[in-house]
């Protein structure tokens, strides 16, 4: 049976848990990628992939990502022929890659999801031009208040705006889907931050190829 969004438990924090299936490959992923991974799985009928997402709020505490991934790999290793880590570096300063190398598991390439959504090569090529851009994905547009506005204290201390965003000029919404409601909300996010708005239709970028590689395992 194909895995769909209805099979998952998804909270505002981005945590997803899917009941164990008969598959032999496990994806350990950031909760902010849940909708996208499930959509790729469903579109391709990759029912043999199991998914466990760690809380998306770990991005607020990058030092907690590596130990959380390590604990999950050690807990699940005996149940799967292969485990893939759907986290980019995400502020771990190379620690997550080093730990994945030690554990013998593959992680998706890139410094962060903005890069692999756009395609790591393209993101790097645009680096100078996008230096003053603030990025949002579908997940972050949906969860803007929970993951940007409130954690930065902008709801309580609006004077912090210039401290955080004084050097930014644009908000780039990397759209994984074509959703007019999300586009409208992303424009509102740009307005609230006082930034020019750009919508960049990236789709899933390098994420699709990485999930496909995991799906090709026996």
Average pLDDT over residues 152-175: 96
Please, where are the H alpha helices in the chain? 34-44, 65-76, 95-103, 113-118, 120-125, 138-142, 144, 161-165, 180-193, 206-215
124 shares a domain with 107: no
Average pLDDT over residues 61-78: 97
Report the chain's terminal Cα–Cα distance, integer Å. Answer: 18
23 shares a domain with 104: yes
How do residues 35-56 score in pLDDT, each as one tens digit? 999 999 999 999 999 999 999 9
Domain CATH code at residue 95: 3.40.50
How do residues 176-187 score in pLDDT, each as one tens digit? 999 999 999 999
197 shares a domain with 109: no
How do residues 193-213 score in pLDDT, each as one tens digit? 999 999 999 999 999 999 999
145 shares a domain with 69: no
What distance in Å separates the CA atoms of residue 140 and residue 34, rounded to the nearest whole number? 12
Q: What is the largest CA-CA distance in the chain?
A: 55
208 shares a domain with 192: no
List the structure tokens of 216.
């090709």
Predicted pLDDT at 127 = 94
Query: In which band, very low, low, confident or very high, does the pLDDT at 217 lie, cut at 50, 70 and 90?
Result: confident
Predicted pLDDT at 23 = 56
CA count, 13 A, side-chain hemisphere, 43: 10
189 shares a domain with 81: no
How do residues 84-126 score in pLDDT, each as one tens digit? 999 999 999 999 999 999 999 999 999 999 999 999 999 999 9
132 shares a domain with 81: no
25 shares a domain with 108: yes
109 shares a domain with 12: yes
93 shares a domain with 42: yes
Place of tokens 């895995």: 3
For residue 186, how many other CB atoms are within 10 A of its CB?
26
178 shares a domain with 163: yes
Q: How many domains does the chain have?
A: 2
Under a CB-based contact definition with an 8 Å cutoff, are residues 25 and 84 in contact? yes
103 shares a domain with 22: yes
Predicted pLDDT at 24 = 87
Under a CB-based contact definition with an 8 Å cutoff, are residues 165 and 149 in contact? no
What distance in Å separates the CA atoms of residue 65 and residue 189, rounded to the nearest whole number? 27
Average pLDDT over residues 26-36: 97
In which domain, by residue range, is 93 found? Answer: 5-113+204-215
Helix, strand, or coil (residue 13): coil
């Amino acid at each position: 049976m194909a895995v769909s969004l209805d099979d998952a438990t998804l909270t505002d924090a981005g945590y997803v848990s899917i009941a164990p299936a008969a598959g032999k490959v496990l994806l350990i992923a950031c909760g902010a990628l849940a909708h996208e991974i499930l959509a790729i799985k469903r579109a391709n009928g990759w029912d043999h992939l199991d998914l466990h997402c760690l809380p998306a709020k770990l991005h607020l505490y990058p030092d907690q990502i590596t130990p959380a991934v390590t604990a999950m790999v050690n807990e699940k290793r005996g149940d799967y022929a292969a485990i893939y880590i759907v986290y980019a570096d995400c502020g771990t300063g190379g620690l997550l890659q080093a730990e994945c190398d030690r554990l013998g598991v593959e992680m998706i390439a890139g410094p962060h999801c903005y890069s692999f959504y756009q395609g790591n090569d393209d993101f790097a090529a645009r680096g100078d031009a996008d230096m003053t851009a603030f990025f949002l994905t579908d997940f972050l547009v949906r969860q803007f208040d929970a993951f940007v506005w409130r954690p930065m204290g902008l709801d309580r201390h609006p004077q912090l705006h210039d401290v955080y965003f004084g050097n930014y000029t644009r908000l780039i919404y990397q759209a994984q889907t074509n959703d007019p409601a999300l586009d409208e909300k992303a424009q509102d996010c740009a307005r609230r931050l006082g930034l020019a708005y750009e919508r960049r239709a990236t789709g899933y970028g390098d994420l699709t190829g990485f999930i496909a590689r995991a799906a090709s395992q026996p």
